[in-house]
Amino acid sequence: MGLYMPARARSADMPDTTELDARRRRLLFRARHRGTKEADLLIGGFVARCIATLSDSELDELEAVLEHPDVDLADWLSGRRPVPADRDSPMLRRMAAEVAGRGMAGG
């Protein structure tokens, strides 16, 4: 009976969460569990790649970005819709630039 499921191997984009402080672990979880697969990949992938090196002020900016609805974030990051001026931020521009550079599949 095949009830045992081995843990997934950690990918290069997945930081070792044991080395992250509580705030970074919480933000990484929020970024990876957005509610839609597309948002999980776009947002979670970016956060996983950079969370360990973000400054406290960048973490504040990231928290603000994560407050936006998934649909809006996915559209803005993928380029389907422009980011409205009142929602624009350096962190959102950084995320969009990385998504554009890596392609939608994150590759």
Taking only the tens place, the pLDDT of each residue in 56-85 is 999 999 999 999 999 999 899 989 999 999
Torsion sign (Cα): 60, 87, 76, 29: positive
**For the domain that residue 45 is a member of, what is the CATH number?**
1.10.150.250
Q: Mean pLDDT over residues 42-56, rounded?
A: 94
The pTM assigned to this predicted structure is 0.76
Question: Range of 41's domain?
Answer: 19-102
Q: Mean pLDDT over residues 21-50, rounded?
A: 92
Distance between CA 78 and CA 81 in Å, rounded? 8
Is 58 domain-assigned? yes
Number of domains comprising the chain? 1
Is 5 domain-assigned? no
Q: Mean pLDDT over residues 1-7, rounded?
A: 56
Q: What is the DSSP letter of 12?
A: T
pLDDT value of residue 100: 83
Distance between CA 99 and CA 42 in Å, rounded? 7
pLDDT value of residue 69: 93
